C-alpha cells in the first residue's frame, strides 16, 4: 500500500521505471563513438544493449509492459528516444 500511496498506482510506477531504464540506456549508447563504418557502430550498440540487459534482466520486462502491455501507460520521452535509436 505504501507504493500505491507514493506513486498513485501500478501504471505510474511502471512508467517511472521505464523512464529511468530508457534514460540510463540512452546515456550508455550516447557514449559510443560513431564510426565511419555503420556496421561497427551497430555492433557496438548491440553489444552495449546486450550488456545492459545482462546486468539488469528485469528491465526488458518493464519495457515490454509499456510497449505491448495494453495498460495505458504513456511512453515517456526517453522511451521514444530509445525506440528511435534502435530503428
Q: What confidence tens digit (pLDDT) does each residue in 22-56 have?
A: 899 889 888 888 877 888 888 998 898 889 988 98
Q: Which of 56, 77, 55 lies closest to 66, judged by CA?
A: 77
Instruction: Please determine, for residue 86, whether its predicted confidence score (pLDDT) is greater than 70.
Output: no
pTM score: 0.70
Please say if the pLDDT value at position 71 is more than 70: no
Collapsed DSSP state (helix, strand, coil) of residue 35:
coil
- The conformation of residue 87, written as its DSSP 8-state character, comes to -
pLDDT in tens, 8-29: 777 888 888 888 998 998 898 8
Length of the chain: 87
Q: Which three cell numbers stand for residue 42?
A: 551497430
- Which residue from 73, 14, 70 is spatially nearest to 4, judged by alpha carbons? 14
Q: Is the pLDDT of residue 59 over 70?
A: yes
Contact 50, 63 (CB under 8 A): no
User: What is the C-alpha to C-alpha distance for residues 69 and 34, in angstroms, rounded to an integer?
Assistant: 33
Amino acid at each position: 500500500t505504501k507504493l500505491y500511496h507514493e506513486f498513485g498506482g501500478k501504471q505510474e510506477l511502471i512508467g517511472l521505471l521505464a523512464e529511468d531504464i530508457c534514460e540510463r540506456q540512452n546515456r550508455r549508447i550516447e557514449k559510443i563513438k560513431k564510426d565511419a563504418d555503420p556496421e561497427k557502430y551497430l555492433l557496438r550498440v548491440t553489444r552495449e544493449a546486450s550488456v545492459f540487459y545482462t546486468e539488469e534482466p528485469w528491465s526488458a520486462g518493464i519495457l515490454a509492459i509499456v510497449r505491448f502491455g495494453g495498460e495505458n501507460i504513456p511512453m515517456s520521452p526517453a522511451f521514444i528516444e530509445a525506440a528511435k535509436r534502435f530503428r
